[in-house]
Structure 1
Amino acid sequence: MNPGYLSLLLIAMTLILLASGWKDVLVRGISHKAILLFFVLWLGTSKIVIPFGSWRIYGCACVAVVISAAVIAKTESFMLQCHLVSVGLLLGSIYFFLQEASHLIPAMMAHPDLNSSLLVGFSAFLMTRLPLVQAACVSVGLLLGDAYSVYVHSPEGFPAVIGGPRFQDRWWLALWMARGSSVVWQGVCAGGRSAARYWAGRRKEGADDRMGD
């Protein structure tokens, strides 16, 4: 599959789910206007390339940076802001390590982009359950990981690309992994609470029957 096609597929699937009534499940607490604005900005800037010296920065990378900055700025506690930044730095380090491992030991990762994106998304899920915070952490992690790779591998004067089609594929795949894991975890927790209430009710009924006898 050519770079960029996966992100378009995931965007289409996301729009279908949101239009089908899954909005409160996937992105609870985010307004419809904010969601619409995000998709308009992402799709409108995904093909725009901004030259910055020897760097070529796609517009969607700027959108990811704005999302991350807005989430961090809206976080009231300074300690939580530091936590979000540290999570992003950790995800960036994990992503960079996985990319380097795929170059040094190819047998470790048959599909480096797929595996690294899924692991970054799952790591974001382990550290937070909030949709906007997950998006911010994934954005910081992937952008930092790409910046590390560019700094290490790109020859001097060679154009470096940030936010290109491959980044877009990885970003959407990581976010889907983070949100999908969160939804599954919520379902497991809800099922566990229902089972606990059911067995508690059964035990109470059994105790009442024994007292009645």
Structure 2
Amino acid sequence: MTENPTGHHRPTRPPSRRWLPPWALIAAGTLAGGLLGGAYGVLKPPQYTATSYVVAVPTAQSDPASALGFAQAYGRVATQIAVLGDAQVWAGVPVNTLKDSVQTATSPDAPMVAVSATSTRADLAADMANAVARSLTQHANADKAQTHVGLIQFSRAVKPTAPSSASPVVTGLVGASAGGLLGGLALLVRPRRPREEDTGRPASVPGPAVAADAHGRL
């Protein structure tokens, strides 16, 4: 049995911690986000959007500037209960459905109001848009004698042939981008890998030959 000439036992090296490469978190986040985004696009029913247009027309006692101003006002009141209450009869849906599904848009340059409706059914989207546009036109023309501005239907909404919602490919790409971003953020906040001199390893003891050589030089 041989003894250690230095009289010291070599310390047992603690097991090293395994660290993932930096790109692993980003790759995992991108993959998970892409799968979740694609699944969302597949499972969510497609949405269809139809749009009807009405235009404000001034009478002989008014001017185009007044028509433009009233078009802006009609665009704001198109989704009010007074208008939607009549539209629900023609659309065949409750007022709350119209309130959640119908949006309006106006132009600062043209006296036109766009009435858009969104639904999981293409035909229902067109029916709701046309019903609200019809009701808005009737309410505006009822006060035509006082406002000197009337509304006429410029274009009826037609049944859309393609969904307006994002496809599974698009939702998958969005999810992958978001997942990659989250993986990058997690990479920034994760604990840093300790340096070798900070691991607390004991200093090495020189062997007999090295010690004797150093003593001889002295």
Instruction: Settle same-fold status: TM greater than 0.5.
Output: no
TM-score, normalised with respect to structure 2? 0.30
- Larger proportion of strand: 2
TM-score, normalised with respect to structure 1? 0.30
Q: Which has the higher contact order (CA 8 A, sep 6+)?
A: 2
